[in-house]
Structure 1
Amino acid sequence: MLQADDAPTNSTLNACMSRTLRRGRVALSRPAGCPSLALYLFDPAVLEGPLTHDEAQAVVAEPAYWAFCWASGQVLAQFILDHPERVAGKRVIDFGSGSGVVAIAAAKAGAREVVACDIDPDALIAIAANAQVNGVAVTVCGDWTAREGKFDVITAADVLYDPENRPLLGYFLEGAPEVLLADSRVKDLGDTRYRLQAVREGRTWPDLHEFEEFNRVRIYLASA
């Protein structure tokens, strides 16, 4: 487990970024959807020209998801900051944490403990760095099945992009009595336990100019 106090400098994150994109680097910025949080994210200023064929292939083969703050992550993070009672005093685990934006928001909102889980080792490095920048404590975990103890709330954003991930909806409710989920890809979850709480607009930061339909984020709450 890596704590925020062990966080690396952005030079380490630049090295992680360059494995995917040779010209890649990160910069500290505040996503438009949750401007009170600062994150190390991909710096689009490095792209002075189009990607070469090799660069494009590298980005597709090993995308640095952690280097972007996706629309659903921003929206769920801001929802938690607007409704701190959802996590305050609770033990929270964030699934597919990416940049860590949702986990960091939960910590800011007064969660008793926050664990951010992602299978990408580079994401764990980024989460620790981003937690440190925001002055919160977040524990990172690279193996969801190895999580320790009981959790009160599971959070997840943009994890249903693959139809094969749909069983996660039931799996989450086996792991905690409450689930906060945000998604912009699936219009009908097909699970009545997930109750729609809000619909908000959001754009990935830095902007990837995705289809407008992917900028409409639905937030759900489920109870076991």
Structure 2
Amino acid sequence: MTILRRVDAMVLHDPAAFILANTRLQTVPHAPEISLWLADEITPIWKMTEEELGALGLPPPFWAFAWAGGQAIARWLLDNPEEVRGRTVLDFATGSGLVGIAALKAGAASVTGCDIDPFCAAAVAVNARANGVTMGFTGENLLDSPPPAVDLICAGDVCYEKPMTERVLDWLASARAQGTRVLLGDPGRTYLPKSGLTFLAEYRVQTTRELEDYEIKRTCVWSL
């Protein structure tokens, strides 16, 4: 879910050990087929992340939580495996790797997660291992290049900041124009487009007041 801001990963000592020491393995509320190493509270893990990186004012550790939009896409892929079976997938702004793991469990041929948060490579690795799948990862900011040639791009919870949302949606529109199917998962955030989307499903997703204004978020999956 972290997209535009990056901290040099070279300052990390052992991100996998940090994740395993400061989170716990737990099932995802709306996709209980999947277990992830997640935090229970945002403030302690946020503070420890800043201490680990030796930097202040960092964005939240998005990788440490199962956000509503990602949960919705994961549920939709698990319930509609024919939409992803045998296909190549990019899990954009992957965070914990939730959506990519769901795609693999639904039969995707291969999945690559992308995220510029320096913890995400380790988060994806430990979470993929916990679910018995193998998922690729890149820490490159893919917004700086043309979209890759994949069958499907999934993007959960990317509409929460105006400049970032505009940049991401332009990039995703380019992917759609070259023939890639694009899925968005979003709980009605401010900058979700009002047009250009096809409704696929709606869920009531359990989340936490640590992250959201309600414990249950009405969350939709859309195709671009």
Contact 1:141–1:147 (Cα < 8 Å) also in 2: no
C-alpha distance after superposition, 1:17-44 (max 9, x if no partner) = 8xxxxxx711100021111101011144
Contact 1:118–1:142 (Cα < 8 Å) also in 2: yes
Q: Percent of counterpart pairs with the same letter?
A: 33
Q: What is residue 193 of structure 2 aligned with on the other side?
A: 189
Aligned pair 1:25/2:25, yes or no? no
Contact 1:70–1:203 (Cα < 8 Å) also in 2: no
Report the Cα distance in structure 2 between the residues aligned to 1:148 and 1:162, rounded to whole angstroms. Answer: 21
Q: What is residue 3 of structure 1 aligned with on the other side?
A: none
Contact 1:107–1:113 (Cα < 8 Å) also in 2: yes
Secondary structure class of the residue paired with 1:79: helix
Tell me the CA shift for residue 190 of structure 1: 3.1
**Structure 2: which amino acid aligns with 1:181?**
L
Contact 1:13–1:25 (Cα < 8 Å) also in 2: no
C-alpha distance after superposition, 1:47-86 (max 9, x if no partner) = 9xx96xx949959822211011111111110111001111
Tell me the CA shift for residue 110 of structure 1: 0.6
Contact 2:91–2:99 (Cα < 8 Å) also in 1: yes
Q: What is residue 213 of structure 2 aligned with on the other side?
A: 211
Count of aligned pairs:
198
Secondary structure class of the residue paired with 2:154: strand
TM-score by length of 2: 0.77
RMSD over aligned CA atoms reads 3.0
Contact 1:107–1:114 (Cα < 8 Å) also in 2: yes
- Change beyond 3 A, Cα 1:16–1:38: closer
Q: What is residue 168 of structure 2 aligned with on the other side?
A: 168
Q: What is residue 35 of structure 1 aligned with on the other side?
A: 32
Tell me the CA shift for residue 92 of structure 1: 0.4
Tell me the CA shift for residue 212 of structure 1: 2.9
Tell me which of 109, 113, 117 is aligned to 2:114.
117
Where in structure 1 are there 5+ consecutive unaligned residues?
A: 1-10, 18-23
Q: Output aligned runs, 1:1-224, within 5 Å.
A: 12-15=15-18, 25-44=22-41, 55=47, 58=50, 61-62=57-58, 63-143=60-140, 144=142, 145=144, 150-164=149-163, 165-176=165-176, 177-184=180-187, 185-186=189-190, 189-192=193-196, 194-204=197-207, 208=210, 210-212=212-214, 215-222=217-224
Tell me the CA shift for residue 169 of structure 1: 2.2
Contact 1:196–1:221 (Cα < 8 Å) also in 2: yes
Report the Cα distance in structure 2 between the residues aligned to 1:146 and 1:187, rounded to whole angstroms. Answer: 23
Report the Cα distance in structure 2 between the residues aligned to 1:127 and 1:57, rounded to whole angstroms. Answer: 17
Contact 2:24–2:38 (Cα < 8 Å) also in 1: yes
Contact 2:147–2:174 (Cα < 8 Å) also in 1: no
Tell me the CA shift for residue 146 of structure 1: 6.4
- Change beyond 3 A, Cα 1:71–1:91: same
Q: What is residue 6 of structure 1 aligned with on the other side?
A: none
- Change beyond 3 A, Cα 1:187–1:196: farther
Report the Cα distance in structure 2 between the residues aligned to 1:58 and 1:162, rounded to whole angstroms. Answer: 22
**Structure 2: which amino acid aligns with 1:79?**
W
- Change beyond 3 A, Cα 1:209–1:142: closer
Where in structure 2 are there 5+ consecutive unaligned residues?
A: 1-13
